[in-house]
Structure 1
Amino acid sequence: MCILFIAQQKHPRYPLIIAANRDEFYARPTAPAAFWNDNTSILAGRDLEANGTWMGVTRKGKIAAITNVRAPSEVRTDATSRGELVTNWLKDDRAQVTGHLTEKLTEQLTEQLTDQSTDQYLQQLKDTRHHYNGYNLVFGSASALHVYNNVNNSVHPIQQGVFGLSNADIVTPWPKVTQGVTSLNKYVLQHDTINTEDLFALLRNEDRADDQHLPSTGIGYEWEKALSSIFINIPSYGTRTSTILLVDSNGELSFKERTFTEKGETTQTREFSFKI
């Protein structure tokens, strides 16, 4: 995942909205979003090279997504694949409560265990931060998300507002991040009903940043320019998928994934919905 936008508690009908693009080399083998055969609770696409994923959810409402931190001079070839960090969070169901309990007691226990599980996983991330190349990991549930950055060992709660995250930390205002945050914030404030096609259009923005606003990450001008748009389509590399995740006020989760060819043409849109 190379860019994502999150609207948390900004829309009266949809307390959580996530719109995200995964940018990757076209040659890297990938499976589209589906419930996994080896863990039927997980809904996600799959990186068939390292067997992890870039973004996913579970039937019980756990959510995770990852973006790489762009720092070519610090990349290690022996680092562990970052996609497993998403998978590990989704596989860990310690935060879930099942059984014949009263609704109020279930809610109380779930909240306590979710906090405990989040703290425990965050400690794991800190303990293993040097095993991976730079990343931002969004993880949690529909009601409580956090972003952990292993480069500066920082964690930021995603509270009420609209947030954007790309290949720097969450407080770095890259032009395409600012552009997407502004567009999503304006959209949720002006629309009573969320149309996923409008969100896909937001993710399809190919406007590149002006030269004076380009970030400097050590990859040279041509690459900085080519990667400065929300949607990327260049030879050998580009936006492979766009994903929209909505959770409404009744706990209904909607997950839509759209995939693209090397020419930026849509190949398919896969849709899933279930109650969490």
Structure 2
Amino acid sequence: MCVTALAWDAHPDWLLVCAGNRDEFHDRPAAPLARWPDEPGLIAGRDLTGGGTWLGVSEAGRFAVVTNYRTPEGAQPGRPSRGKLVTDVLCGRQSEPVATMNPFNLFVVEPGQARLLTNSPAQEERPLPPGLHGLSNGGFDAPWAKTRNLIAALDRWLASGTGDPATLLTTLRDETPPEPDAAGDSPDGIPLFIHNPAYGTRCSTVVIIARDGAGWMIERRFDAEGAVTGETSLAFAWAMVA
């Protein structure tokens, strides 16, 4: 997942809303959004190389999404899968030490709380206050232009009160390079949707969870030409804090 916006406890109707794109090599195999038969209550797509996922929910009341943190040297081979970190969070398991993983940012929502976990440029964990937050492939405190644009689009969506995920999915399909207007922006103007035959946007995902725990997740998948190859929508019930 290379760009995501999260609204946590920021609307009277919805406890959590997330919209994001997963960017990956097109030849890396993945299974579409589904309930995992080997992990009861877990709902996510699945990376068939690393075995983990990039974004998912657990009906136990957990949500997690990870983005890679871009560094000049790139990802180093032989390190634990960052996707497994998401799976372990969703299943409530102890994960590998984050210092051993390639650089990442991670949003975690659990009953009554949300937090950011990162290991770059230094290992850090901090609570997320109610509001709107975003991640891409840079630092949390210096969001790239495309991240700010997605956060703004999510803010407008919340204000509209429609609850229709179609608007967010349309936003995630935007290929317009953003104009950098702050220090720390990506220098190459990466758009929300990356259309490239080798490495590009593989899927767009929207998660909406109401305050009573009723939730649904929509995943729209794309091929190397940017054409839609499928769409999955699943409803679920999120456990609420008593």
TM over 0.5: yes
Match of 1:171 in 2: 141
Aligned to 1:27, the other structure's residue is in SS state coil
Q: Is the 8 A contact 2:99 2:123 kept in 1?
A: no
Match of 2:52 in 1: 52
Match of 1:229 in 2: 191
1:209 to 165, 170, 178: 178
Equivalent AA in structure 2 for residue 192 of structure 1: G
Gaps of 5+ in 2: none
Give 1:169 deviation, angstroms.
2.2
Trace 1:54-133 onto structure 2 (pairs within 5 A): 54-73=54-73, 75-92=75-92, 128-133=97-102
Give 1:73 deviation, angstroms.
1.5
Give 1:13 deviation, angstroms.
1.1
Equivalent AA in structure 1 for residue 153 of structure 2: S
TM-score by length of 2: 0.90
Q: Is the 8 A contact 1:142 1:247 kept in 2?
A: no
Match of 2:203 in 1: 241
1:157 aligns with 2:119: no
Gaps of 5+ in 1: 94-120
How far apart, CA to CA, are the structure 1 residues paired with 2:224 and 2:136?
A: 21
Deviations 1:67-98 (A, max 9, x none): 000003253222111111011111227xxxxx
Match of 1:192 in 2: 161
1:34 aligns with 2:4: no
Larger helix fraction of residues: 1
TM-score by length of 1: 0.80
Identity in percent: 32
Equivalent AA in structure 2 for residue 35 of structure 1: R
- Aligned CA RMSD, in angstroms, stands at 2.0
How far apart, CA to CA, are the structure 2 residues paired with 1:156 and 1:60?
A: 22
How far apart, CA to CA, are the structure 2 residues paired with 1:63 and 1:206?
A: 27
Deviations 1:151-175 (A, max 9, x none): 1112232222111110112111211
Q: How many residues are paired up?
A: 237
Q: Is the 8 A contact 2:145 2:185 kept in 1?
A: no
1:268 aligns with 2:230: yes
How far apart, CA to CA, are the structure 1 residues paired with 2:224 and 2:71?
A: 25
Q: Is the 8 A contact 2:8 2:17 kept in 1?
A: yes
Aligned to 1:147, the other structure's residue is in SS state strand
